[in-house]
């Protein structure tokens, strides 16, 4: 049985700010009924290493999204069917497998580092290698990329905030009912 792990402080020393549990996302409405954050148990182990590596550099992790039920993926796709930034729900998102996370870094006072764009800014400036964002944002993206890859995550070139386990399609898709999270 696949276990999703609920990501909660203090066990996970992170800030949780799930965009899709609020109207502060590209749909302008809450997609999730609950502000609960989950990851596949293997991804949760990688997150623990991420937290330690970030802390060693004086940063903390802020999570925008993690496990996303397949029902939520359909809602996002129906709103914005853009395959450059959203996986088609029929093939499934790594988020809907519990093996992807959207995040940023914050400094010791809880302020997000400048990454050049906001989370879910569906523009070419969100690409990891975009050179039109400030030098500071480029540096911060590379720090995040280094922390994430050193702790075992793969990256998606179109979104500086998105990381996933390698071979995400090797994990099964989970609906809200399958996962038993009550998020939808």
Q: Which CATH code of 3.30.1380.10, 3.90.1150.10, 3.40.1280.10, 1.10.3720.10 fits the domain covering 4-179?
A: 3.30.1380.10
Q: Is the pTM of this model over 0.85?
A: yes
In this predicted structure, the answer to whether residue 177 has a pLDDT above a threshold of 70 is yes
Contact partners, residue 112, CB within 8 Å, separation at least 6: 62, 104, 105, 106
Q: What is the DSSP string of 2-28?
A: --EEE--TTTS-EEE--GGGSS-STTS
Rounded average pLDDT over 151-172? 97
What is the enclosing helix (H) or strand (E) of 103? strand 100-106
Question: What is the token pair recorded at 155?
Answer: 């990256």
| pLDDT band, residue 3 (cuts 50/70/90) | confident
Which of 3, 41, 71, 159 is flagged as catalytic? 159
The tens digit of pLDDT for each residue in 67-121 reads: 999 999 999 999 999 998 899 999 999 999 999 999 999 999 999 999 999 999 9
Average pLDDT, the chain: 96
Catalytic residue status for 159: yes
Question: What is the token pair recorded at 66?
Answer: 């993690």
In which residue are the tokens 């802390």 written?
A: 55
End-to-end CA distance of the chain: 21
In this predicted structure, the answer to whether residue 1 has a pLDDT above a threshold of 60 is no
The tens digit of pLDDT for each residue in 20-40 reads: 999 999 999 999 999 999 999
Rounded average pLDDT over 157-163? 97
Nearest to residue 120, comparing CAs of 164, 159, 68?
A: 159
Q: What percent of the chain has pLDDT over 90?
A: 97
């Amino acid at each position: 049985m696949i276990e999703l792990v609920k990501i909660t402080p203090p066990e996970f020393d992170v800030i949780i700010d799930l965009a899709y549990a609020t109207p502060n996302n590209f749909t302008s409405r809450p997609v999730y009924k609950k502000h609960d954050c989950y990851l596949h148990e293997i991804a949760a182990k990688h997150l623990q290493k991420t937290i330690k590596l970030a802390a060693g550099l004086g940063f903390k992790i802020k999570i925008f999204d993690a496990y996303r039920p397949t029902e939520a993926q359909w809602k996002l796709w129906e709103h914005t069917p853009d395959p450059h930034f959203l996986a088609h729900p029929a093939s499934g998102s790594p988020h809907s497998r519990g093996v992807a996370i959207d995040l940023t870094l914050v400094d010791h006072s809880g302020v997000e580092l400048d990454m050049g764009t906001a989370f879910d800014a569906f523009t070419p400036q969100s690409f990891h290698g975009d050179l039109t964002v400030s030098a500071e944002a480029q540096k911060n993206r590379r720090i995040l990329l280094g922390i994430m890859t050193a702790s075992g995550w793969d990256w998606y070139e179109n979104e500086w905030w998105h990381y996933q386990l390698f071979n995400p399609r090797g994990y099964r898709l989970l609906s809200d009912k399958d996962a038993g999270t009550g998020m939808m």
